[in-house]
Amino acid sequence: EAQVTQNPRYLITVTGKKLTVTCSQNMNHEYMSWYRQDPGLGLRQIYYSMNVEVTDKGDVPEGYKVSRKEKRNFPLILESPSPNQTSLYFCASSLTERGSEQYFGPGTRLTVT
């Protein structure tokens, strides 16, 4: 089954404790991205990757890091989480970067206290 998986689905952590949210897709998609969803703000892109070893900042990259060492995986790293990073995070992938349908993972609800 074609899908995007994320782990963990729920995470409660404390300020400053490094964490990684994993994302994996099995569709051989080139393009992957991370979004955060906050009430009233819709989805905002954090980082994206057009292919292996190619990543770039989205609209709200501060406080986040990503890597793309393999085509299927695109982890999101919070080196020192802060309460304002409490949000719902979605990973998405698409065949190419140019106007392709995006497939979203199930989401990760992160709470930073």
Partner 1 sequence: GQQVMQIPQYQHVQEGEDFTTYCNSSTTLSNIQWYKQRPGGHPVFLIQLVKSGEVKKQKRLTFQFGEAKKNSSLHITATQTTDVGTYFCAGGKWGVTFGTGTQLKVEL
What is the nearest approach in angstroms of partner 1 to the Cβ of residue 66? 15
End-to-end CA distance of the chain: 36
What is the nearest approach in angstroms of partner 1 to the Cβ of residue 107? 5
Q: How far apart are CA 22 and CA 19, in angstroms?
A: 10
Cβ(6)–Cβ(22) below 8 Å:
yes
Nearer to partner 1, 63 or 107 (CB): 107
Type of residue at 44:
R
- Residue choice 7, 13, 22, 45 for contact with partner 1 (CB under 8 A): 45
Instruction: Determine, following the binding rule CB under 8 A, whether residue 33 of this chain makes contact with partner 1.
Output: yes
Cα dihedral 98, 2, 20, 106 sign: positive
Instruction: Determine, following the binding rule CB under 8 A, whether residue 12 of this chain makes contact with partner 1.
Output: no
Q: Residue numbers of the site for partner 1 (CB under 8 A)? A: 31, 33, 35, 40-45, 48, 58-59, 90, 92, 97-107
